[in-house]
Amino acid sequence: MKNKKIVMIISAICLCTLITLGVFFALPKKEEKVYQGEPFLLEDIYYHNGEFIPTNASEIEQLLSQKKNFLVFTKNSSYCSFKIPCDQIFEEVMKKYNIDVLKIPFEEFKDTSLYETVKYEPTMIVIKEGEIVGYLHADKDEDLDCYQNTKAFEKWLKQFIVLKK
C-alpha cells in the first residue's frame, strides 16, 4: 500500500514536471532580430561632413516611407549619465568616416513610428530601406561599451553599414 502511494506521488510529480516543461518550451520566445545581411551603403547625402543633422519627427517619417538608408541618434538633451557623453564617442567615428547622422531630441522622437520599437535613450538606430535593422540598447549592459569606446562603437556600426564609400 505504501509503495503504491509513493509510486503515485512520484508519477504525479513527473507528470507535472513534464507538463510544465512542455508549456515552457511551447511558448513563443521573444527573440531579438540580429542583422544577418552584408554591410550596406547609406544614402549618398550622408557621406559628407561627419556631423549631426538636426531633424524632426515628420522628416524621419518621410525618410521611412521613402525606404531610405540612414542613421538616427536620439537622446534627452538635458541629461547624460555616461562618464564621456556618448555623442562625443559617436562623433569621433562619424568624423573619421565623414558620415552624417540625423539627430532628434527624444521628446520629438517619441512622435515617430520608431518609438514603437526603441523605447530608451540615448541610442543610435540603423535604418535600411525604411526599416530598423539595429540599434544600441540603452537598457542593456552588453551595449554599454559602444557608448563609451570609439572602437567598440565603430565595430558595432561596421556590421551594418559601409563606413567608407
Q: What is the pLDDT of residue 117?
A: 96
CA atoms within 13 A on the CB side of 151: 0
DSSP state at residue 136: -
| Cα 127 from chain centroid (whole Å) | 10
Among 51, 50, 68, CA closest to 59: 68
Element (H, E) at 134: strand 131-135
CB–CB of 57/112 below 8 Å?
yes
Q: What whole-number distance in Å separates Cα of residue 77 and Cα of residue 8?
A: 64
The chain-wide mean pLDDT, for the chain, equals 86
Question: Is-cis flag, bond preceding 85, omega within 30?
Answer: no
The per-type count for the chain, helices as H runs and strands as E runs, is: 6, 5
Q: Dump the DSSP string for 20-75.
A: HHHHHHHSPP-------S--BPPPGGGBSSS-EEE--HHHHHHHHHTT--EEEEEE
Per-residue pLDDT, averaged over 111-127, amounts to 96
Write down the residue that cell numbers 569621433 correspond to: 92
pTM for this predicted structure:
0.79
Read off the pLDDT of residues 68-104 as tens digits, 9 standing for 90 and up: 999 999 998 766 777 778 989 999 999 999 999 999 9
Asked: is 44-158 a CATH 3.40.30.10 domain? The reply is: yes
Domain boundaries, the chain: 44-158
- Sign (positive/negative) of CA torsion 66, 67, 70, 75? positive
